[in-house]
Amino acid sequence: MTFTDLFENDDMKLINLLPQDGAVYYHGKILDTTTADIYLAKCRGELSWEHDRAFIYGKEIVTKRKVAWYADEPVSYTYSGYTKMASAWPGFLQEIKQVVESNCGEVFNSCLCNFYSSGTEGMSWHSDAEKDLIANGAIAALSLGGERKFSFKHKKTGKSVSLNLEHGSLLIMKGTTQQNWLHSLPKTKKDREPRVSLTFRQMR
């Protein structure tokens, strides 16, 4: 990496956590604890949470994790064999979107929200490269609540990279990350507070 690579991106002065074939930037806590606490309570109380449904190897499964989805337009989004409709942005979520955008220099038009009630809920290895998303678009994940480990695994080499996602922190995945790397939120038997992740995305 050259000096200009380090400074000529919107994730200024942050180091790419991936050694090759993608770009992941951890901005750390972008919200103070009080603000993050308020947003967590609003997300838990005011978003329309539903269990997610997916088709895995031809079988329908209903996830323990809950999701809610918001977008600029009442667009549909297809993943894991299901098509879902987005709702209009609640005011506070749009406020969070602006904070996220100003921190990473990207603009987003949708948000998939995840709710994990404890460490026994997680998300298995996957990449987010559905055809409804702009190819190589950025995904910004704002974490609220219980701190959790997050992992990346290279699709060819199997090399892995992990980090902890703190309350009020921002993680950006961009470039060819989704083409070349899987990511997961591993389940854990350790006690973990409930967690919300707000994953801002760029839909076509």
Ligand X SMILES: O=C(O)CCC(=O)C(=O)O
Binding site for ligand X (CB under 6 A): 112, 114, 123, 128, 141, 143, 150, 183, 185, 197, 199
Q: Considering Cα of 96, then 87, then 106, then 22, what sign does the dihedral take?
A: positive
128 binds Fe ion (CB under 5 A): yes
Residue whose CB is less far from ligand X, 42 or 201? 201
132 binds Fe ion (CB under 5 A): no
Residue whose CB is less far from ligand X, 42 or 69? 69
Cα–Cα distances in Å, from 193 out to 31, 78, 141, 142, 188?
Answer: 18, 30, 18, 16, 12
Residue whose CB is less far from ligand X, 63 or 114? 114
Residue whose CB is less far from Fe ion, 122 or 168? 122
From Fe ion, ligand X, none, which one binds at residue 112 (CB under 5 to 8 Å depending on kind)?
ligand X
Instruction: Specify the residue for token string 């100003």.
Output: 102
Nearest approach in angstroms of CB 8 to ligand X is 27
Residue nearest to ligand X (CB): 197
Whole-angstrom distance, CA of residue 197 vs CA of residue 136: 21
> CB-based contacts of 179: which residues, under 8 Å, 6+ apart?
21, 22, 127, 129, 136
Binding mask 69-108 for Fe ion (x = CB under 5 A): ----------------------------------------
130 binds Fe ion (CB under 5 A): no
> CB-based contacts of 171: which residues, under 8 Å, 6+ apart?
24, 25, 26, 27, 140, 141, 143, 150, 163, 165
